[in-house]
């Protein structure tokens, strides 16, 4: 190493580069170690979810998370109308995940935690002149009006980091009983 009296600038440059290189290596090793620990935990305990449909006063999907923490996101779209009617809204829409009274577009869930998505509810007019079934999403304020005969809904449930199985795709039949006080029927069906 050069003497400070003979080459002061070179001395400080060499000392600074050794110090900076040590800091960069230490930070890099700690980041790599953290990533490796998270990867091994996720490999040993991969995340998964139970998806349950609920009907009644409104239609909802309950999502229960198992395994290492993951961030979930749900999109729904209408595949087709049941009574051979025109599809009222065929585009996929992002939905709110609700947990502890708050709504989120995407939500981090830990092992055993659950959240739900309100898919549809019965809306009434301001003047009480009728009611209808409205599909709920995070992109529109009033929702999409659904015929009482019903529609087939496709839900795409995605986790980040992604699961081995990829995106969970489930289909549900959504309809309304007009004779039972407007109760909403929401059941699992095949996606064919």
Count CB neighbours of 176 within 10 A: 23
Task: Give the C-alpha separation, 51 to 88, whole Å.
Answer: 25
**163 and 150 in one domain?**
yes
The predicted-structure confidence for 112-128, as pLDDT tens digits, reads as follows 999 999 999 888 777 76
Q: Is-contact 155 167, C-beta < 8 A?
A: no
The token pair at 72 is: 């979930």
**137 and 58 in one domain?**
yes
**107 and 182 in one domain?**
yes
The predicted-structure confidence for 141-157, as pLDDT tens digits, reads as follows 778 888 878 899 999 99
**77 and 26 in one domain?**
no
8-32 exposure pattern, b = at least 16 Cβ within 10 A, e = fewer: eeeeeeeeeeeeeeeeeeeeeeeee
Q: Is the pTM of this model over 0.85?
A: no
The token pair at 151 is: 């529609």
**90 and 63 in one domain?**
yes
* 3-state secondary structure at position 19: helix
**165 and 70 in one domain?**
yes
CATH of the domain at 69: 2.60.40
The token pair at 191 is: 């996606």
Tell me which residue range forms the domain holding 83: 48-189
Which tops the pLDDT comparison, 69 or 36? 69
| Number of separate domains in the chain | 2
**60 and 20 in one domain?**
no
Q: How far is CA 82 from CA 59, 86, 170, 171, in A?
A: 17, 10, 17, 13
**154 and 77 in one domain?**
yes
* 3-state secondary structure at position 27: helix
Q: How far is CA 59 from CA 69, 133, 182, in A?
A: 26, 10, 12
**157 and 105 in one domain?**
yes
Which of 51-55, 91-95, 136-140 is the least confident region?
Answer: 136-140
**130 and 86 in one domain?**
yes
- Average of pLDDT values for 99-122? 93
Q: How confident is the model at residue 39 (pLDDT cuts 50, 70, 90)?
A: low
Task: Give the C-alpha separation, 13 to 18, whole Å.
Answer: 9
State the pLDDT at residue 107.
96
**29 and 84 in one domain?**
no
**149 and 137 in one domain?**
yes
State the pLDDT at residue 32.
72
């Amino acid at each position: 190493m050069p003497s400070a009296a003979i080459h002061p600038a070179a001395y400080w440059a060499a000392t600074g580069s050794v110090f900076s290189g040590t800091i960069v290596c230490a930070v890099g090793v700690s980041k790599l170690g953290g990533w490796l620990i998270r990867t091994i935990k996720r490999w040993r305990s991969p995340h998964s979810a139970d998806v349950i449909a609920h009907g009644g006063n409104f239609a909802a999907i309950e999502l229960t998370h198992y395994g290492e923490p993951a961030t979930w996101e749900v999109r729904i779209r209408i595949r087709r109308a049941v009574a051979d009617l025109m599809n009222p809204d065929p585009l996929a829409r992002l939905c709110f995940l609700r947990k502890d009274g708050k709504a989120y577009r995407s939500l981090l869930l830990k092992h055993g935690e659950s959240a739900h998505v309100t898919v549809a509810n019965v809306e009434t007019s301001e003047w009480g002149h009728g009611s209808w079934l409205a599909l709920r999403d995070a992109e529109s304020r009033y929702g999409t009006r659904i015929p009482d005969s019903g529609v087939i809904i496709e839900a795409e449930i995605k986790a980040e980091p992604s699961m081995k199985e990829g995106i969970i795709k489930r289909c549900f039949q959504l309809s309304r009983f007009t004779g039972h006080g407007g109760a909403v029927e929401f059941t699992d069906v095949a996606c064919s």
